[in-house]
A and B are shown apart, each in its own frame.
Chain A
Amino acid sequence: MLGALTRARDWRPFKIVDLDLSSGVAAVSGLEGYAGVFALVWAGGAPLGHVRVPVRGANCSERRIRSAIRVQLEHPLATAALRDRLRTGIRSGQEQAAGPENRAEAGTETPALPSATVAICTRDRPEALDRCLGYIERLRYPVLDVVVVDNAPPDDTVRRLVQEKYPNFRYLCEPQPGLGWARNTALAHSSSEIVAFTDDDCAPDPSWIEALGQAFTEDEQTMAITGLVTPFELETPAQILFERSGGFGRGFDHQSWRLGTTTGRRGAMHLGAGRFGTGANMAFRRSVFSSIGDFDVALGAGTPTEGGEDLDMFFRVLEKGYTLVYEPRAVVRHVHRRDLDGLRRQLEGHGVGLYAYFVRSALMFPNRRRQFLRLALRWFWTRNIRRLLRSFAGSRSFPRDLVWAELKGSLRGCTAYPRARRATSRRNGDLAGRPGVVA
């Protein structure tokens, strides 16, 4: 999506800004060296979409931004306005007069929000964590419990950081390396109704947890919620490339998924769990874990599988027949890897994690085995092989070494899960009683 602009301007960065239409559109200045403005547009507390405005010179005028919003977000804007009107009801003639007051009224009637725990699992990235916790401090929520899980720490830097700079946050240490372990530790030490996860390289919006809480109260059958992940900055080619490769964003439409319960044949749409979201922005009703089990400790960063514990959880929530919701109002900004090496490792890790998740699910859910095999092959063809072939033709394609890295990762992922499994069971002797896996 950023392709054309980036090419024309030879890798100049994009300035990320927030534009809240409720408080008016203003010009953006101080844009020396930027190729354009990449704005997240909000209206009435909900993000509507991204707008790209190319800049000339160091300024981006109000008029320019307005017309860009108009052209690029016409449909989301109209949709949002209509949905807003349905909230109060559409009456011809008097709607203009009655609109704003009613809207404000509808906004204030908030039911009690559930108690919430925010869990940040971190490993060896104290600076990133510091920034993240700075944003966590600004979260608006009535009663919020924040836990920082320090995964396999080499020293006590993170402990000191949390205890000295953020005394209100709880510090937990999980010596077993692996994100699954860390997430389970957070669960074991939470007594709230909902548990929300974000990563140490993220910066949640102040309204993040509130949006999640409201979405949980809206429908008591919702057991898991994922949210919008939008770039924190687009300063380097690697960061722009990551957005181009798909990024983490899953759109601006509220969605909800649930498997059919009354028909005999159950769908298989939830197998490709990546489309539901990512572990950087997800929340669960804590009660769900007693019926579907905790995170699989053999999945996740820090183990040979390098990821996939989030996808596995989304799949299991849906497979059990619960509702999973995508709530774009819950916004987390993610700091993409700045250097190409980091990006390459990350994309490779995504490949590993995804295929480890496929293998894990095929092993644990024999009735889904064929569907997983089919999906894995199809994904391998479209995401890995076809993109690789395309990279030989045409200059608009994605850099070949990155496609190649992901392909290698996918292949490695096929054997990663059994390896991770063996590694965990070797250590299992001294781990009795710890939160483990329930298939």
Chain B
Amino acid sequence: MKQAGAVAVRLVDVSRPVTAIDDVREYERVRIYAQREGRMLGFTEVRNHGAALSARRVRQALVDALGVRLILDDPTTKSADALIDSLLEELIGEDHDSAGSSDVKLDPGVSVSIVIATFDRPDDLRNMLVWIREQRTERPVEIVLVDNHPSSGITPAVVAQFPHVVLIQEPRQGLAYARNAGILASTGDIIVMTDDDVRPPQDWLETLIAPLARNDVGAVTGNVLPLELETSAQRIFEIYGGLGRGFERREVDLRWFNKCKWVVPTWILGASANAAFRSSLFRNPTIGLMHEALGPGMPSGVGEDTYLFYRILKAGYTMVYDPNAYVWHRHRTDMEALRAQLYGYSKGHIAYHLTTLLEDRDLRALAYLTLRLPYGQSRRIVKRLKRKSAYPLKLSMVEIGGYLAGPGALWKSRRRVAREGRSIQLSSSTEEGVE
């Protein structure tokens, strides 16, 4: 029997006839993700109470949750109102037609390096390497695996089964250290970053890098969906916000960067668990490598990716968030790990803002940290007390603890980086001093 409250996760392709979902009798609820011709449309959650979901209920739930998004071809060019009009016309009599959209295709000769950092997770890693091998792509792909704990000797045993994987060792602990080592070792025109605990669908790679066909786009991020919602820790993580960043395509650039009133919320773009970069970005002196005082493995927790995005935007590149380039991620299954993770996120959140303040003299961070953040947190707690949210109060406390510990954690991280040294890009240094 499943754990009480387990939620089944299913993917429905609405370009084919939508039929009943029968294999969910062990669950009380079903979360249905909708996809059409490679586009991720969104999701809905249905109570099935241990019964199969009839085709009609699946359709109804999808329509109720997603509405015209189901048929919306290009959200930027066609308004929802126009679509409703054409639907009505169709029902009440008249006819209407829609035009397709055209894209610039990425040249097939462009090479890709996939950088994966791992820290003693052989089973996940083995699965991931298999998923990568099964990607549908014609272009040259290089896999750079960074072992962030070489002294354990666990990872090389796994890599032995995958002959084409380039194994790099980075004994300095920290995800940013590991990713930087991977970036330095990779040779591709595009660098794709991902983690060892995700599961990409077969067309993931091509979808993710496709927007880089445009010259102004410097980096692309994708969505991260929960692979399963079996335990309450996994479900609470989704309530917290999960790793997903929604089903709307987003494009942000320098204008957006300057327009942000409080801070630059680069976290809405996603994370380096699912991102693609032009490799030239890392040789660009105004961007440089990842900031090594940030990120998992450091006391500061997270933030290496959001800070990298910050630098990319500041350098004038456009960033695209494409919800269709999604990966499935297995969230932490126990509450202890979840607490530690949220604590880390909160520390990292502070560390990110302080870094923009220290490195880039971005005064918006100061206002955010002293006014906006405390306000948002207290609103969340009030919402919980009014029972309008299912987010546990205890976790709010964990988060607040994390915020308070943030500055100290960043200080410790920076001291450690000073001790262990920074990675240096060959063509130019990553010194600060960018205006």
**Cross-chain contact of A70 among B4, B51, B88 (Cβ < 8 A):** B88
Please tell me if A261 contacts chain B, counting CB pairs below 8 Å. Answer: yes
- A-B contacts, 9 listed (Cβ < 8 Å): A25-B92, A78-B67, A92-B73, A219-B51, A258-B49, A261-B49, A262-B27, A262-B50, A263-B4
Chain B's nearest CB lies how many Å from the CB of A103? 11
Chain B's nearest CB lies how many Å from the CB of A368? 18
Please tell me if A88 contacts chain B, counting CB pairs below 8 Å. Answer: yes
Instruction: Tell me which residues across on chain B come within 8 A of A254, comparing CB atoms.
Output: 56-57, 60
Contact: A258 with B51, CB < 8 Å? yes
- A-B pairs with CB below 8 Å: how many? 115
Instruction: Tell me which residues across on chain B come within 8 A of A91, comparing CB atoms.
Output: 15, 37
Q: Bound complex: CA of A108 vs CA of B434, how far in Å?
A: 69
Contact: A86 with B92, CB < 8 Å? no
**Cross-chain contact of B50 among A106, A218, A261 (Cβ < 8 A):** A261
Closest to B95 in A: A96
Please tell me if B132 contacts chain A, counting CB pairs below 8 Å. Answer: no
Q: Bound complex: CA of A154 vs CA of B15, how far in Å?
A: 62
Instruction: Tell me which residues across on chain B come within 8 A of A253, comparing CB atoms.
Output: 60
Q: Bound complex: CA of A159 vs CA of B18, how far in Å?
A: 49
Chain B's nearest CB lies how many Å from the CB of A317? 14
Instruction: Tell me which residues across on chain B come within 8 A of A342, comparing CB atoms.
Output: none
B15, B17, B49, B50 interface centre (most CB from chain A within 10 Å): B49
Instruction: Tell me which residues across on chain A come within 8 A of B14, comparing CB atoms.
Output: 86, 89-90
Query: Hey, what's the 0/1 contact readout for B288-327 against A, CB within 8 Å counting as 1?
Result: 0000000000000000000000000000000000000000
Chain A's nearest CB lies how many Å from the CB of B30? 13
Please tell me if A77 contacts chain B, counting CB pairs below 8 Å. Answer: yes
Please tell me if B365 contacts chain A, counting CB pairs below 8 Å. Answer: no
A106, A218, A219 interface centre (most CB from chain B within 10 Å): A219
Query: Hey, what's the 0/1 contact readout for B17-32 against A, CB within 8 Å counting as 1?
Result: 1100000001110000
Q: Bound complex: CA of A259 vs CA of B91, how far in Å?
A: 37
Please tell me if A66 contacts chain B, counting CB pairs below 8 Å. Answer: yes
Contact: A89 with B70, CB < 8 Å? no
**Cross-chain contact of A96 among B49, B63, B97 (Cβ < 8 A):** B97
Instruction: Tell me which residues across on chain B come within 8 A of A43, comparing CB atoms.
Output: 91
Query: Hey, what's the 0/1 contact readout for B77-118 against A, CB within 8 Å counting as 1?
Result: 000000010011011110101101000000000000000000
Contact: B63 with A259, CB < 8 Å? no
Contact: A260 with B49, CB < 8 Å? yes
Chain B's nearest CB lies how many Å from the CB of A43? 6
Query: Hey, what's the 0/1 contact readout for A211-225 against B, CB within 8 Å counting as 1?
Result: 000000011010000
Contact: A260 with B50, CB < 8 Å? yes
Contact: B51 with A323, CB < 8 Å? yes
Please tell me if B154 contacts chain A, counting CB pairs below 8 Å. Answer: no
Chain A's nearest CB lies how many Å from the CB of B367? 41
In the complex where A25-B92, A262-B28, A263-B4 touch, is A219 in contact with B54 (Cβ < 8 A)?
yes
Please tell me if B250 contacts chain A, counting CB pairs below 8 Å. Answer: no
Q: Bound complex: CA of A48 vs CA of B210, how far in Å?
A: 42
Contact: A264 with B4, CB < 8 Å? yes
Instruction: Tell me which residues across on chain B come within 8 A of A79, comparing CB atoms.
Output: 63-64, 67
Please tell me if A87 contacts chain B, counting CB pairs below 8 Å. Answer: yes
Instruction: Tell me which residues across on chain A come within 8 A of B62, comparing CB atoms.
Output: 86
Please tell me if A140 contacts chain B, counting CB pairs below 8 Å. Answer: no
Please tell me if B59 contacts chain A, counting CB pairs below 8 Å. Answer: yes
In the complex where A86-B18, A260-B49 touch, is A74 in contact with B88 (Cβ < 8 A)?
yes
Instruction: Tell me which residues across on chain B come within 8 A of A323, comparing CB atoms.
Output: 51
Contact: B68 with A86, CB < 8 Å? no
Please tell me if A81 contacts chain B, counting CB pairs below 8 Å. Answer: yes
Closest to A102 in B: B17
Chain A's nearest CB lies how many Å from the CB of B128? 31
Please tell me if A428 contacts chain B, counting CB pairs below 8 Å. Answer: no
Q: Bound complex: CA of A221 vs CA of B56, how far in Å?
A: 15
Please tell me if A121 contacts chain B, counting CB pairs below 8 Å. Answer: no
Contact: B87 with A77, CB < 8 Å? yes
**Cross-chain contact of B1 among A74, A219, A262 (Cβ < 8 A):** A262
Question: B: which residues have CB within 8 A of A?
Answer: 1-2, 4-5, 13-18, 26-28, 36-37, 47, 49-52, 54-57, 59-60, 62-64, 67-68, 70-71, 73, 84, 87-88, 90-93, 95, 97-98, 100
Query: Hey, what's the 0/1 contact readout for A51-77 against B, CB within 8 Å counting as 1?
Result: 000000000000000100110001001
Please tell me if A170 contacts chain B, counting CB pairs below 8 Å. Answer: no
Chain A's nearest CB lies how many Å from the CB of B294? 41
Instruction: Tell me which residues across on chain B come within 8 A of A256, comparing CB atoms.
Output: 54, 57
Instruction: Tell me which residues across on chain B come within 8 A of A89, comparing CB atoms.
Output: 13-18
Instruction: Tell me which residues across on chain B come within 8 A of A70, comparing CB atoms.
Output: 88, 92
Contact: A90 with B2, CB < 8 Å? no
Please tell me if A40 contacts chain B, counting CB pairs below 8 Å. Answer: no
Instruction: Tell me which residues across on chain B come within 8 A of A95, comparing CB atoms.
Output: 71
Q: Bound complex: CA of A209 vs CA of B98, how far in Å?
A: 39
**Cross-chain contact of B91 among A81, A90, A93, A106 (Cβ < 8 A):** A81
Q: Bound complex: CA of A344 vs CA of B97, how far in Å?
A: 54
**Cross-chain contact of A259 among B49, B64, B95 (Cβ < 8 A):** B49
Chain B's nearest CB lies how many Å from the CB of A258? 4
Chain B's nearest CB lies how many Å from the CB of A301? 33
Contact: A262 with B2, CB < 8 Å? yes
**Cross-chain contact of A81 among B5, B26, B87 (Cβ < 8 A):** B87
Chain A's nearest CB lies how many Å from the CB of B10? 15
Instruction: Tell me which residues across on chain B come within 8 A of A81, comparing CB atoms.
Output: 87-88, 90-91
Instruction: Tell me which residues across on chain A come within 8 A of B2, comparing CB atoms.
Output: 262
**Cross-chain contact of A83 among B63, B90, B93 (Cβ < 8 A):** B63
Contact: B84 with A78, CB < 8 Å? yes
Please tell me if A85 contacts chain B, counting CB pairs below 8 Å. Answer: yes
Chain B's nearest CB lies how many Å from the CB of A226? 16
Q: Bound complex: CA of A79 vs CA of B91, how far in Å?
A: 11
Chain B's nearest CB lies how many Å from the CB of A213? 15
Instruction: Tell me which residues across on chain A come within 8 A of B87, comparing CB atoms.
Output: 77-78, 81-82
User: A-B pairs with the 10 shortest C-beta distances?
Assistant: A258-B49, A86-B59, A261-B50, A81-B87, A86-B18, A89-B16, A82-B63, A83-B59, A89-B17, A219-B54
In the complex where A82-B63, A96-B97 touch, is A88 in contact with B17 (Cβ < 8 A)?
yes
B5, B13, B54 interface centre (most CB from chain A within 10 Å): B54
Please tell me if A24 contacts chain B, counting CB pairs below 8 Å. Answer: yes
Instruction: Tell me which residues across on chain A come within 8 A of B70, comparing CB atoms.
Output: 82, 85-86, 90
Please tell me if A172 contacts chain B, counting CB pairs below 8 Å. Answer: no
Q: Bound complex: CA of A259 vs CA of B28, how far in Å?
A: 10
Instruction: Tell me which residues across on chain A come within 8 A of B28, comparing CB atoms.
Output: 260-263
Instruction: Tell me which residues across on chain A come within 8 A of B50, comparing CB atoms.
Output: 258, 260-262
Query: Hey, what's the 0/1 contact readout for A154-193 against B, CB within 8 Å counting as 1?
Result: 0000000000000000000000000000000000000000
Instruction: Tell me which residues across on chain A come within 8 A of B67, comparing CB atoms.
Output: 78-79, 82
Instruction: Tell me which residues across on chain B come within 8 A of A260, comparing CB atoms.
Output: 28, 47, 49-50
In the complex where A66-B92, A81-B91 touch, is A90 in contact with B36 (Cβ < 8 A)?
yes
Instruction: Tell me which residues across on chain A come within 8 A of B84, comparing CB atoms.
Output: 74, 78
Instruction: Tell me which residues across on chain B come within 8 A of A21, comparing CB atoms.
Output: 91-92
